[in-house]
Amino acid sequence: MNSNSSADLVMFPGQGSQRAGMATHLLERYPAARRVFDEADAVLGMPLSDICTTGTAEELAATDITQPAILATSLATWQVLREAGCTPGAVAGHSLGEYAALVAAEVLTPESALRLVQVRGRLMAEVGRKQPGAMAAVLGLSAEQVVRICEQARGTGLVEVANFNEPTQTVLSGEAAAVEAAGRAALLEGAEKVVALKVGAPFHCSLMSAIEEEFAGELAGHSFADPVLPVISSVTGDHVRSGEQARELLRRQLSGPVRWVDVVRRAGGLPTETYIEVGPGRVLNGLVRRTDPDARVASTGDEKRLGALVGTLSAAAPVPV
């Protein structure tokens, strides 16, 4: 890691990284994190600070709660690192995490990101109630094989690739029967295993297109500035060039796949020294390592890891004169 983190990719996790008590260490130790949660509680009119410290896993599992909770935790962690002197070379976010990345790049204000994610979580939860669907991770096949399996399973219903997470981990999403059929076909083709995911809705597939128009209207009510540092979008795996493009990509993100392999490969073409996961969990660390075995990774999801990184950043910060 460079002394000022200037060559690092800061990356923010998405849904599935939540855990009970995930913000306890932030709120107990860091005033910067408390300020972020105080704003989030006020903006959203819900006690996120309580949910993220004393809430149960069951409470956090609801999509309309999970999404703002993860975002607030990620933003609080980012503010702690920012005040310690973290200046990344680029930022990226896995699906939901892209909102935190856009805040870090000053495309969105924290308030706009929180309000948008609150609506996003509500709309996606509504799709889940109307069209339960299913998701499953396929391990041990190439992305090309899984795409072909989805095409062959169309006769059983809608099933599409939702996440290109790593070279041999690809996530399916769609109607339950079709996802199950595609999973069986993957096993017959030689997949190591197919893991059903516990999710509140069939994310990142065409079933989510029903909410795109309503969410586009919500996006239109917020200002999007041009990024002040490079943002790699998980929708395209490429750089976000403008605020208007960022707005459109957030709409497309609802029903389009997450191209995380492309994000990591794009970052690998930059002078990226360390991939720093900012927020709860270490899911992205694992995905990066399995995409680029030589990559250096760091996480911030617990007191020990965050404290170590803050200490490194603070020690490297210039002394005021």
Q: Which residues are catalytic?
A: 95, 204
Find the helix or strand (DSSP H, E) in which 77 lies: helix 63-84
Spell out the residues 6+ positions from residue 104 whose beta carbon is closer than 8 angstroms to its own: 10, 12, 78, 82, 88, 91, 229
**240 with 231: CB under 8 angstroms?**
yes
Identity of residue 78 = W
CB 260 within 8 A of CB 287: yes
Report the C-alpha gap between 28 and 321 in whole angstroms.
31
Nearest to 138 by CA among 158, 157, 166: 166
Closest CA to 204 of 128, 268, 122, 263: 128
CA distances from 254 to 62, 199, 274 (A): 17, 15, 29
Evaluate whether 177 touches 211 at the Cβ level (below 8 Å).
no
Q: Is 182 left (phi over 0), alpha (psi -120 to 50) or beta?
A: alpha
